[in-house]
């Protein structure tokens, strides 16, 4: 076995420890500004640093979190005590990686559909991130459901770029997190989401095969199969679990070691309950089913913090509680009563 492959397998092993998941703290400046605005907190380089330092220094976070996805800015920032922020994670035994895509742009010729930017110069950037201690990376593709979309062309184009990114990561010893997100926006049904998600995942794994990506050394970060947010008929956790597991069994090879779901706009409790329903089923799975949540982990902490340093401890307690509940969901041991403990 090559040294590079051993390195990738070691990282995958650390990220898929039973009962642990990934914290997505990779919001761009524009995205985190919107979230700060919602709690009346100023968005400056200093406040972004303070907030992420709060997250990463949460006592006991490493009991439930195996990895954290960073934004490029955070990889280089230092704490008030002049420690690099990623080092706060390393001290808790948490691996850190980085979001490497450059966001989405309209797909020319296909109204309503998008492509993700960032392949230009990616190989050089990956090398630099690895030198700075990153162990893994993440690339997000966005698929919308609407009138006449998604098209097969948009699905194929996004799948190709996800696979190109993944191949580059593995060549440089970084574990790729592959994130094809079918958006919740719209009034589509559970069945429509299931059909589109299945088509997307088929295309992604076909592209990964064509690019000779080693499936044992990547993580998949998909959406759960859920109705559109505006659909009149929402789904129970059991229905979400059944639809999602059916889709995954049809599309995701058993060689993939871990599936870390995105929350995709679900409420904190819904994202946890749906994950729990998948792990509480009597059916066995070839993959570890866990989480890679951003807002669904951070929202309670952000609400408690509100940009005030005096609220740091309360905010950390809120993050710890949410991480603990999702850890329980990874093991099928979450109950709604735990929300009030």
Q: In the annotation, is 179 catalytic?
A: yes
The three-class DSSP label of residue 327 is helix
Q: How many CB atoms sit inside 10 A of residue 78's CB? A: 12
Spatial distance between the Cα atoms of 129 and 11, rounded to a whole number of angstroms = 15
Residue 3 to residues 6, 9, 90, 165, 227: CA-CA distances in angstroms?
5, 10, 22, 21, 44
How many residues can be counted in the chain?
Answer: 341
DSSP string, 111-141: TT-EEE---TTHHHHHHHHHHTT--EEEEEE
Spatial distance between the Cα atoms of 172 and 127, rounded to a whole number of angstroms = 7
CA torsion through residues 292, 173, 212, 143, sign: positive
DSSP string, 141-157: EEE--BTTBS-HHHHHH
Q: Which two tokens stand for residue 71?
A: 């934004």
Q: Give burial (CB, 10 Å; 0-12/13-18/19+) of 225.
A: buried
Q: Angle of helix 295-305 relative to helix 268-280, nearest 10 degrees?
A: 150
Q: Exactly one of 53, 179, 181, 198 is catalytic; which is it?
A: 179
**Do 339 and 269 touch, CB atoms closer than 8 A?**
yes
Q: Exactly one of 20, 114, 130, 221 is catalytic; which is it?
A: 221
DSSP string, 254-322: TT--EEEE--TT--HHHHHHHHHHHHHSSS--SSEEEEEESHHHHHHHHHHHTT-GGGHHHHHHHHHHH
The three-class DSSP label of residue 79 is coil
| Peptide bond connecting 103 to the previous residue in cis, omega within 30 degrees of 0 | no
Catalytic residue IDs:
179, 221
């Amino acid at each position: 076995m090559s040294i590079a492959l051993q390195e990738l397998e070691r990282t995958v092993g650390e990220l898929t420890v039973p009962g642990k998941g990934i914290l997505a703290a990779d919001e761009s400046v524009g995205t985190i500004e919107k979230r700060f605005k919602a709690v009346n907190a100023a968005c400056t380089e200093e406040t972004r640093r303070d907030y992420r330092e709060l997250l990463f220094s949460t006592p006991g976070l490493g009991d439930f979190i195996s990895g954290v996805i960073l934004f490029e800015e955070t990889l280089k920032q230092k704490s008030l005590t002049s420690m690099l922020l990623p080092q706060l994670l390393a001290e808790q035994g948490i691996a850190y990686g980085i979001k490497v895509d450059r966001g989405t742009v309209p797909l020319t010729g296909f109204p309503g559909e998008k492509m993700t930017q960032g392949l230009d110069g990616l190989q050089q950037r990956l090398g630099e991130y690895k030198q700075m201690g990153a162990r893994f990376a993440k690339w997000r593709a966005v698929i919308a459901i609407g009138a006449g979309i998604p098209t097969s062309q948009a699905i194929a184009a996004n799948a190709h770029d996800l696979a190109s990114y993944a191949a580059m990561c593995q060549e440089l010893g970084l574990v790729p997190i592959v994130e094809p997100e079918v958006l919740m926006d719209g009034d589509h049904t559970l069945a429509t989401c299931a059909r589109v998600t299945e088509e997307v995942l088929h295309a992604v794994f076909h592209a990964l095969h064509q690019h000779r990506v080693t499936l044992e050394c990547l993580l998949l970060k998909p959406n759960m199969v859920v109705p559109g947010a505006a659909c009149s008929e929402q789904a129970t956790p059991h229905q979400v679990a059944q639809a999602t597991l059916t889709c995954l069994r049809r599309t995701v090879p058993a060689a993939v070691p871990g599936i870390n779901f995105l929350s995709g706009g679900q409420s904190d409790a819904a994202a946890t309950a749906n994950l729990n329903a998948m792990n509480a089923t009597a059916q066995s799975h070839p993959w570890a089913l866990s989480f890679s949540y951003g807002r669904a982990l951070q929202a309670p902490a952000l609400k408690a913090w509100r940009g005030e340093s005096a609220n740091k401890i309360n905010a950390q307690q809120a993050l710890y509680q949410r991480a603990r509940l999702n850890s329980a969901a990874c093991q099928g041991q979450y109950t709604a009563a735990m929300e009030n403990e």
